[in-house]
Chains A and B, each alone.
Chain A
Amino acid sequence: MSDGREEREEQEQRRKWEKEKKDRDDDLDRYWERDGERERRDSRAAEVEALDAEVKAQLGQGTRRSFLVAAAAAAGGYGFYRWIDRSPGDQLIPKPLRKTLEFNAKMSRGVFDERGLAPTYPVARSMELRTNGNYGLKMDLVPESYRLQMVGVANAKDLPHYVDDVTAWEYQYVTKKEAGPVEHDTKVAPKALVVVGDGSQAKVDPNGDAGMGEGPMMQGGTASTMVGGNGEKKSDVKMPPAFAAAFAALKKSQGNKRPRGQEEAGMSDNTLDAGTPGLLLTMDDMTSLPHHELVTEFKCIEGWSQVVHWGGYRLADLIAKYPPERKPDGSLPKYVYMETPDGDYYCGFSLQACMHPQSLLVTEMAGRPLAQWHGAPIRLHMPIKYGYKQIKRIGLIAYTDMRPDDYWTKLGYDWYAGL
């Protein structure tokens, strides 16, 4: 596109200008030399130069000041970042960031009130849901041994399923029949990877339980409540005799049960104390509720999403059937806490989120009964929350007035997780 002609013309023009300028200068030189004014012209030039210099000096001053302010601001900005980054942690993230998450949650509640309904889709658009993490699902649950524990229900004592101690219920497990499609999670670093350091040598089996905890079941052990197993036979860790004795005594005092909270985040602060009264509901109590189907988009905080066809019962209907006990001042407790039967995975919700019309206790997915690896017999779907709140294999639903513990919140994620 470079036009040679145009270029030539331009060069000619420039040459002409330069020649004219030179001629003018020569003329002036001749005059001044004759009249002895050459010096004056120089002094004039010097004057102009001095003025220009003064303009530049003026700018120089302003520039120095501006750059000093800029440097101070940059230092301040960096200090601000360092302050955030070096702040003591609050559940694995710096406190200012945790506070911001809480502030954002408050804003979201204030603006949206969690009442929005998620869009629904035709069934044809739905697909198989990925499995992503099997916390609390390491063994298959024996369906007949399933009970839903409910704690904090109003007038529980008068209801048929009331027991004095819901924690005494023994869930039965068997070794997995099928592992499910893939079980893998990237939300936290697998411990093995952290130990090795740069991760290049640590080959993580993509189909393995990478990112899982280090509880006895993770190391080949079995749950103490497993049918035909005592949970200790495969442990080759040698313990000093005194420690072993103390450990055995502790286990015995806990009813020889498998310790709860065997995953990365550890034990929940809300794990029930032995002797907590409540209801032990059966699947029949659940299936007597009105059945609902829903096709919504499941969203994982990892960055993927899938349209899924769910079937089950509204959490709101269950709550209506078993309403929370009112506090002495007549108000309702603010929160709901749920956990898996083994207590390895747990979630906290506001009561309002549980009352959302699309919060579903899921018993079927894609038109089929829920698979064990998807959290049979009951899991939660809550389109107003990220996937990590949609707990699989719900063992306990408890009403509480303290904000309940939450598995992923402990590992640095937002408690609110509202969409």
Chain B
Amino acid sequence: MPEKPTDRREPIEELQPAAGTTQERVEAAPEISVAPRVEARDQAAEEPAAVAVSAPSTDQTLPVAANAVVTPVEAREPAVATVRLEKKHPLAIRWMHWVNFPVLFTMIWSGLLIYWNDSDNAYQHPHAVYRVGVGSLTVVRLFPPWFWKLINAPYRVTEGLGYHFFFMWIFAINGILYVSYLLISGEWRVLVPERRSFLDAIQVTLVDLHLRKGLPPQKKYNGAQKIAYTSVVLMGLGSLVTGLSIYKPTQVHWITSLLGGYEMARWEHFWLTMGFCAFFVVHVVQVILAGWNNFRSMVSGYEIVPAAKAPLEEERRVG
């Protein structure tokens, strides 16, 4: 669930870049960090005064002038930026993420227009399916009349059906492309939870609820995120399967039967949607808490990270 700025707890000593370490890291992901490094050298050449500057740990008793004359440019440790750009989200994932947002919204909205149809019947038992309850005990039926009025749902069933059966294609195709991309690019490695993720997720949740301190170490996503993002993809698959079993309950009756029958499939379809809504709320709150740097990375792809942070490429390659 939480999108954490991946390493806000790492202590950063701004004025003492560990030059050696940075150099190694830079080589591990050359295409990302080349620019700042090259520019650092150019700058150094233009400003002879700066040439004399050495890292604080080197011998500071040397006379300035001698050092300036004798030391060749290459021999001196160049100034290195303390931050770098990390390519966090590939272009394809950003597109599919943002396409999914209005499409899923449209699916939920049009679905509500359809659900309304069973809320207003004369049988005094509306929504036998869309309710909270067990057997004959019903705690609450969904939704109350004021809700339908609020979203202007009454008598817009045909519109709902029309949009639902239009956008289902976009939702399905986008989802299939997304999963295919995860598999082909290896991005699934950063997303699929490991055994450790489940313990981590509990810890992360407790930290988020301010019940304890100390986030477990993480790479692109923490345990809770991995579980949430993988679940929401599985929920999407669930919505497609339950949706198909409601859409063609005679032709694919074996799926409908496996899901527990037509009414059960509708129930499942409905509660998966409620799951999406819950995910959405938590997701948006966490994105707001995580801040602009994190949000921006879902649009531009890049995040500003401390130069010393391990690049994500490794995680993508080996998991």
Residues of A at the B interface (CB closer than 8 Å) are 1-3, 6-7, 10, 17, 21, 28, 31, 35, 37, 40-41, 43-45, 47-48, 50-52, 54-56, 58-59, 62-63, 65-67, 70, 73, 77, 81, 84, 92-94, 96-98, 100-101, 104, 108, 111-112, 114, 116-119, 130, 132, 182, 184, 186-189, 193, 199, 206-207, 297, 299, 301-305, 383-384, 411-414, 418-419
Task: Output the least CB separation between A413 and chain B (Å).
Answer: 6
Chain B contacts for A117, CB-based, 8 A: 250, 253
The reply to whether the CB of B259 lies closer than 8 angstroms to some CB of chain A is no
Which of B79, B123, B166, B247 meets A84, CB within 8 Å?
Answer: B166
Q: Can you list 30 pairs linking A and B with CB atoms under 8 Å apart?
A: A1-B206, A2-B211, A28-B56, A35-B60, A41-B56, A43-B49, A43-B50, A44-B53, A45-B15, A47-B50, A47-B53, A56-B83, A58-B35, A58-B85, A62-B301, A62-B302, A66-B300, A67-B300, A97-B162, A100-B162, A101-B165, A182-B122, A182-B123, A184-B122, A297-B262, A301-B161, A304-B128, A304-B129, A412-B157, A412-B159
Chain A contacts for B15, CB-based, 8 A: 45, 48
Closest residue to A27 on the B side, CB-wise? B56
Chain A contacts for B128, CB-based, 8 A: 304
Residues B88-117 near A (CB distance < 8 A) = 98, 102, 106, 114-115, 117
Task: Output the least CB separation between A279 and chain B (Å).
Answer: 31
Which of B121, B169, B249 meets A302, CB within 8 Å?
Answer: B121
Is the CB–CB distance between B253 and A63 below 8 Å? Answer: no
Is the CB–CB distance between B53 and A43 below 8 Å? Answer: yes
Given A52-B82, A59-B300, A189-B155; 17 other pairs, CB 8 A cutoff: A3-B212, A41-B56, A48-B81, A63-B300, A66-B299, A73-B98, A77-B102, A97-B159, A97-B162, A112-B252, A116-B252, A116-B253, A186-B120, A188-B155, A297-B262, A302-B117, A303-B115
Of B36-44, B132-140, B234-242, B311-319, the one with at least 4 CB within 8 A of chain A = B36-44
What 0/1 pattern do residues 25 to 62 of B give for CB contact below 8 A with A? 00000000001100110010000011011001000110
Is the CB–CB distance between A114 and B122 below 8 Å? Answer: no
Chain A contacts for B253, CB-based, 8 A: 116-119
Task: Output the least CB separation between B38 and chain A (Å).
Answer: 11
The reply to whether the CB of B266 lies closer than 8 angstroms to some CB of chain A is yes
Task: Output the least CB separation between B253 and chain A (Å).
Answer: 5
What 0/1 pattern do residues 153 to 173 of B give for CB contact below 8 A with A? 011011101110110010000
Chain A contacts for B262, CB-based, 8 A: 297, 299, 305
Chain B interfacial residues counted at CB < 8 A: 73
Is the CB–CB distance between B81 and A51 below 8 Å? Answer: yes
Chain A contacts for B39, CB-based, 8 A: 51, 54
The reply to whether the CB of B287 lies closer than 8 angstroms to some CB of chain A is no
Bound Cα distance A63, B299 (Å): 7
Task: Output the least CB separation between A388 and chain B (Å).
Answer: 11
Is the CB–CB distance between A59 and B85 below 8 Å? Answer: yes
Is the CB–CB distance between B250 and A70 below 8 Å? Answer: no
Task: Output the least CB separation between A80 and chain B (Å).
Answer: 10
Bound Cα distance A198, B21 (Å): 69
Contact status of A100 and B165, CB under 8 A, knowing A1-B212, A40-B53? yes
Bound Cα distance A130, B35 (Å): 73
Chain A contacts for B117, CB-based, 8 A: 186-187, 301-303
Is the CB–CB distance between B251 and A114 below 8 Å? Answer: yes
Is the CB–CB distance between A104 and B36 below 8 Å? Answer: no
Contact status of A119 and B257, CB under 8 A, knowing A43-B50, A48-B81? yes
Chain A contacts for B186, CB-based, 8 A: none
Is the CB–CB distance between B302 and A412 below 8 Å? Answer: no
Chain B contacts for A41, CB-based, 8 A: 53, 56
Most A CB within 10 A of own CB, among B17, B81, B123, B301:
B81
Contact status of A62 and B50, CB under 8 A, knowing A112-B248, A207-B122, A299-B249? no
Is the CB–CB distance between B85 and A108 below 8 Å? Answer: no
Which of A1, A54, A100, A132 meets B81, CB within 8 Å?
Answer: A54
Is the CB–CB distance between A419 and B123 below 8 Å? Answer: no
Task: Output the least CB separation between A131 and chain B (Å).
Answer: 10
Is the CB–CB distance between B300 and A62 below 8 Å? Answer: yes
Bound Cα distance A207, B39 (Å): 81
Task: Output the least CB separation between B125 and chain A (Å).
Answer: 9
Closest residue to A358 on the B side, CB-wise? B250
Task: Output the least CB separation between B54 and chain A (Å).
Answer: 9
Chain B contacts for A305, CB-based, 8 A: 262-263
Contact status of A55 and B251, CB under 8 A, knowing A43-B49, A304-B118? no
Is the CB–CB distance between B300 and A419 below 8 Å? Answer: no
The reply to whether the CB of B304 lies closer than 8 angstroms to some CB of chain A is yes
Chain A contacts for B13, CB-based, 8 A: 21
Task: Output the least CB separation between A109 and chain B (Å).
Answer: 10
Is the CB–CB distance between A303 and B114 below 8 Å? Answer: yes
Which of A3, A114, A297, A413 meets B161, CB within 8 Å?
Answer: A413
Is the CB–CB distance between A304 and B121 below 8 Å? Answer: yes
Chain B contacts for A412, CB-based, 8 A: 157-159, 162
Contact status of A418 and B211, CB under 8 A, knowing A92-B158, A118-B253, A303-B129? no
Chain A contacts for B84, CB-based, 8 A: 55
Most B CB within 10 A of own CB, among A184, A207, A419:
A419
Bound Cα distance A43, B54 (Å): 11
Contact status of A419 and B79, CB under 8 A, knowing A301-B117, A302-B117, A302-B121? no
Contact status of A54 and B36, CB under 8 A, knowing A10-B213, A47-B43, A67-B300? yes
Is the CB–CB distance between B304 and A186 below 8 Å? Answer: no
Closest residue to A1 on the B side, CB-wise? B211
The reply to whether the CB of B11 lies closer than 8 angstroms to some CB of chain A is yes
Q: Would you list the 9 A-B pairs with minimal beta carbon distance, nearest first?
A: A412-B158, A97-B162, A303-B118, A51-B81, A189-B155, A112-B251, A66-B300, A184-B122, A206-B122
Task: Output the least CB separation between A386 and chain B (Å).
Answer: 10
Task: Output the least CB separation between A51 and chain B (Å).
Answer: 4
Contact status of A52 and B83, CB under 8 A, knowing A98-B162, A305-B263? yes
Task: Output the least CB separation between A316 and chain B (Å).
Answer: 16
Chain B contacts for A21, CB-based, 8 A: 13
Closest residue to A199 on the B side, CB-wise? B154
Chain A contacts for B310, CB-based, 8 A: none
Chain A contacts for B61, CB-based, 8 A: 35
Bound Cα distance A391, B227 (Å): 49
Chain B contacts for A65, CB-based, 8 A: 300
What 0/1 pattern do residues 284 to 295 of B give for CB contact below 8 A with A? 000000000000
Which of B120, B165, B214, B251 meets A104, CB within 8 Å?
Answer: B165
Bound Cα distance A60, B132 (Å): 49
Chain A contacts for B118, CB-based, 8 A: 302-304
Bound Cα distance A302, B157 (Å): 8
Is the CB–CB distance between B155 and A419 below 8 Å? Answer: no
